[in-house]
Amino acid sequence: MYIDPHVHMVSRNTDDYVRMARAGCVAITEPAFWAGYDRSSPQGFFDYFRQLTEFEPRRAAQYGIRHHTWLCINPKEAEDPVFAREVIGLIPGFLEKRNVLGIGEIGLNKNSRNELEILEAHLQLASDHGLLVLVHTPHLEDKLKGTRLILDAIRRFPKLDAGRVLIDHVEEHTAKLVLDRGFWCGMTLYPDTKCTPQRAVDIIECYGSERIWMNSAGDWGHSDPIAVPKAQMEMRRRGHLESLVRKVTFENPERFLSQSGRFSAEPLRPTAPDITR
Amino acid sequence: MSEAPTNAACPMNRTQVVDAYFMEHRARILDLAAFLDRVDRAGPGADDFRMQAFRAALSILGDGKPERARRVLELLSDPGTEPVAKAGMKGATGAHDPKAGKA
- What is this model's ipTM? 0.94
Contact predicate A81/A113, CB 8 Å: no
Question: What residue type is A215 in one-letter code?
Answer: N
Q: Quick one: average pLDDT of A66-94?
A: 97
**Number of domains comprising chain B:** 2
Q: What per-residue confidence (pLDDT) applies to B101?
A: 57
Same domain, B27 and B51: no
The pLDDT of residue A86 is above 80: yes
Q: How far apart are CA B77 and CA A141, in angstroms?
A: 4
Confidence of residue A265 (pLDDT cuts 50, 70, 90): very high
- The separation between CA B99 and the C-alpha centre of its own chain, rounded to angstroms, equals 20
Confidence of residue A274 (pLDDT cuts 50, 70, 90): confident
Whether A202 and B73 lie within 8 Å, measured CB to CB: no
Whether A76 and B90 lie within 8 Å, measured CB to CB: yes
On the 0-12 / 13-18 / 19+ scale of CB atoms within 10 A, A22 is exposed
Closest Cα of chain A to B19: distance in Å? 11
Q: What per-residue confidence (pLDDT) applies to B8?
A: 47
B90 domain-assigned: no
**Domain locations in chain A as residue ranges:** 2-260
Mean pLDDT score across all residues of chain A: 97
Same domain, B15 and B39: yes
pTM for this prediction: 0.95
SS3 for B2? coil
Q: What per-residue confidence (pLDDT) applies to B88?
A: 86
The pLDDT of residue B65 is above 50: yes
Does A39 reach chain B within 8 Å, measured CB to CB? no
Same domain, B73 and B62: yes
Contacts of B11 in chain A (CB under 8 A): 238-240
The pLDDT of residue B1 is above 50: no
Closest Cα of chain B to A145: distance in Å? 6
Q: What class is the A2-260 domain?
A: alpha beta
B83 domain-assigned: no
Confidence of residue A276 (pLDDT cuts 50, 70, 90): low
The pLDDT of residue B6 is above 80: no
In percent, the amount of chain A with pLDDT more than 70 equals 99
Handedness of CA A228, A253, A172, A152 (dihedral sign): positive
Closest Cα of chain B to A35: distance in Å? 12
B29 domain-assigned: yes
Q: Quick one: average pLDDT of A37-50?
A: 97
In this structure, the strands spanning A100-107 and A2-4 are unpaired
- Give the nearest partner residue to A112 out of B8, B83, B93, using CB atoms: B83
| 3-state SS, one letter per residue, for chain A | CEEECCCCHHHCCHHHHHHHHHCCEEEEEEECCCCCCCCCCHHHHHHHHHHHHHHHHHHHHCCCCEEEEEECCCHHHCCCHHHHHHHHHHHHHHCCCCCEEEEEEEECCCCEHHHHHHHHHHHHHHHHHCCEEEEECCCHHHHHHHHHHHHHHHHCCCCCCHHHEEECCCCCCCHHHHHHCCCEEEEEECCCCCECHHHHHHHHHHHCCCCEEEECCCCCCCCCCCHHHHHHHHHHHHCCCHHHHHHHHHHHHHHHHHHHCCCCCCCCCCCCCCCCC
Between A275 and A223, name the one with better pLDDT. Answer: A223
Same domain, B34 and B50: no
> For an interface test with B, which of A109, A173, A196, A243 has the most B Cβ atoms less than 10 Å from its Cβ?
A173
Mean pLDDT score across all residues of chain B: 90
Number of residues that make up chain B: 103
Q: What per-residue confidence (pLDDT) applies to B7?
A: 43
- Give the nearest partner residue to A172 out of B9, B70, B83, using CB atoms: B70
Same domain, B32 and B58: no
The pLDDT of residue A261 is above 80: yes
Contacts of A238 in chain B (CB under 8 A): 10-12, 20
- Where is average pLDDT lowest: A134-138, A152-156, B8-12? B8-12
The pLDDT of residue A93 is above 50: yes
In this structure, the strands spanning A66-71 and A25-31 are parallel
Contacts of B79 in chain A (CB under 8 A): 145
The pLDDT of residue A262 is above 90: yes
Tell me B5's DSSP state.
P
Sheet holding A165-167, edge to edge: A2-4, A25-31, A66-71, A100-107, A132-136, A165-167, A184-188, A212-215
Whether B21 and A240 lie within 8 Å, measured CB to CB: no
Same domain, B39 and B51: no
Q: What per-residue confidence (pLDDT) applies to A273?
A: 80
Residue A125 φ/ψ, nearest 5 degrees: -60, -45
Does A248 reach chain B within 8 Å, measured CB to CB? no
Contacts of A110 in chain B (CB under 8 A): 84, 87-90
A143, A147, A179, A145: which is closest to A163 by C-alpha? A179
Q: What per-residue confidence (pLDDT) applies to A15?
A: 96
Q: Could you tell me the residue range of the domain that residue B58 belongs to?
A: 46-77
Instruction: Give the bridge partners for A70, in sequence order.
Output: A31, A102
Q: How far apart are CA A142 and CA B38, in angstroms?
A: 28
Q: How far apart are CA A277 and CA A105, in angstroms?
A: 29
CB atoms within 10 A of CB A111: 26
Q: Quick one: average pLDDT of A242-263?
A: 98
Q: What per-residue confidence (pLDDT) applies to A277?
A: 63
